[in-house]
Amino acid sequence: MAEQKRTEALRRRARQALGATPQTFLLGGFGAAILLGAVVLWLPVSAGDSPVSFLDAFFTAASAVCVTGLVVRDTGSGFSGFGQTVILVLIQAGGLGVMTFAALAFEALGRRMSLRAQDSVTGSLFAEGVRVGFKASVHRIIAVTLVVEALGALALFLGLRSPDRNLAAMWEAAFHAVSAFCNAGFSVFPDSLVSHRGNFPVMATISALIVVGGLGYPVLLELLDRLRIAGKSATVDERRLSLHSRTVLIVSVFLVVAGAVMLLAAGVREPGGASGVGGDIGNALFQSITARTAGFNSVDIGKLPLATLTVLIGLMFIGGSPGSCAGGVKTTTATLWFAELAAWLSGRKHARVLGMHIPGVITRRATMLLRLAVLWNVAGVFILSLTESNGGWGNLRDLVFEQISAFGTVGLSTGATSGLSAAGKLWIVATMYFGRIGPLSLVLRIFVQTSPGVRYPEGKVMIG
């Protein structure tokens, strides 16, 4: 009896030390998936043309689980068929959300997840305060994911098939469909999609999968609900999309179009390179779509003009939308920041988006997330400038691009990834993890919020 009490006391203290919050489950789930994936990719059976070091396996697993796409060795030749399958599973787990993937595994085993774990799943996929059925929501999310990826794989197979390589085309189609929908950017082709930029079915399908995957599950499920009641007698309010969905759709379209126009003006063709489908317009549109989170490229990024890279950095920093596979600060965060700025400039007390008042607590969170993102990336560029000063990648342009790409879980690179030092690779891994989990989730877990016991006297300083 005494031994049992001591064991229970130890367990209780362990739970208190870990702080079993939803953030803990989220952080721990992604971390465990990365470590497990690294061990499996390190095995000889996963290696392709040469053995895989543990650091490279760890980097690849982190990039796959964080759906980034930065690679230190070519996916197609550097890993065997088994290794590529492991990468695909890690991408799917990271895209669905590791906790969603765990919920599916628990159900297959006939077990239930704890309420805190369920809270972590719904909290990472839906807005705070939104009440959703856990089991039904997980089922719908998985169903939507599998259906969209299956349709995408079929469309890609039709664009990649040829009489002498149908089996290879089937694998390439499945791999790229999952990678595109999960906004991962991994490719089994050595040049990403540069050699396929003249293939309209392939480029159009990849673009569509990236856009759909970057909208977020809350928006996708809401759109499906509106389609379901489209032919029925429903009220205007029932057919009307929520403010979140309308904001995401409008801002996403704006960023794709505006990004393409700016890229076209800056130049999207490498010196001596050929244009793809639709010429430079096609390249500009595709890179505007993929730069926000996916990481596929139809041109050689390292050979693009500095102005073009600047546009890409801006798109990568914003990223996709909440509840999606995308990274970055998110479309809604950028929107709220600009709405708050507009309110301040016009003398209004509160921010407004599409004619609706936004509570101050939400705009403050958006501002905090932006501050954390800027602080992390400034520190990241400084750290990379230290770790890579003696290597071949001391160019500030390349380091800034690499840092923002990792933070936005994008995967585009000017070519710096494979030349990073061991310390540089570890920092990029940390940045991919930070970008995928979300700055607020990580900070809320590390810094426990407590009520201050003392109020300090006010002070004034000059600004501006």
Buried b (16+ CB within 10 A) or exposed e, 199-232: beebbebbbbbbbbbbbbbbbbbbeeeeeeeeee
Q: Which DSSP symbol is given to 455?
A: -
Mean residue pLDDT of the chain comes to 81
Task: Report the distance separating Cα 293 and Cα 435, nearest Å.
Answer: 11
Statement: residue 362 has pLDDT above 70: yes
Lowest mean pLDDT among 112-116, 277-281, 291-295, 419-423: 112-116
Statement: residue 1 has pLDDT above 70: no
State phi, psi for 61 to the nearest 5 degrees: -65, -40
Our CA angle for 272, 206, 63, nearest 5°, is: 90
Which residues have a Cβ under 8 Å from the Cβ of 240 and sit 6 or more positions away?
none
Buried b (16+ CB within 10 A) or exposed e, 307-322: ebbebbbbbbbbbbbb
Q: Can you give 21-33 as a three-state secondary structure string?
A: CHHHHHHHHHHHH
**What pLDDT, on the 0 to 100 scale, is given for residue 130?**
47
Going by pLDDT thresholds of 50, 70 and 90, the confidence category of residue 369 is: confident
List pLDDT tens digits, range 67-80.
888 999 999 999 99
pLDDT higher for 67 or 324? 67
Q: Rounded mean pLDDT of 25-46?
A: 86
Which residues have a Cβ under 8 Å from the Cβ of 194 and sit 6 or more positions away?
297, 298, 299, 300
Going by pLDDT thresholds of 50, 70 and 90, the confidence category of residue 26 is: low
Statement: residue 381 has pLDDT above 90: yes
Q: What is the CB neighbour count within 10 angstroms for residue 158? A: 13
**Helix boundaries (H) for 97-165:** 98-108, 115-125, 134-160
pLDDT higher for 293 or 10? 293
CA distances from 167 to 163, 268, 312 (A): 10, 34, 35
Q: Are 414 and 302 within 8 A, CB to CB? A: yes
Q: What is the CB neighbour count within 10 angstroms for residue 289? A: 25
List pLDDT tens digits, range 222-258.
888 888 776 666 666 667 888 888 999 999 999 999 9
Q: Rounded mean pLDDT of 112-127?
A: 49
Statement: residue 213 has pLDDT above 70: yes
Q: Rounded mean pLDDT of 396-423?
A: 90
In a 3-state reduction of DSSP, which class is residue 234? coil
Lowest mean pLDDT among 70-84, 253-267, 393-407, 441-455: 441-455
Going by pLDDT thresholds of 50, 70 and 90, the confidence category of residue 119 is: very low
Task: Report the distance separating Cα 426 and Cα 387, nearest Å.
Answer: 10
Task: Report the distance separating Cα 34 and Cα 76, nearest Å.
Answer: 20
State phi, psi for 69 to the nearest 5 degrees: 105, -5
pTM of the model: 0.84
**Helix boundaries (H) for 408-458:** 422-437, 439-446
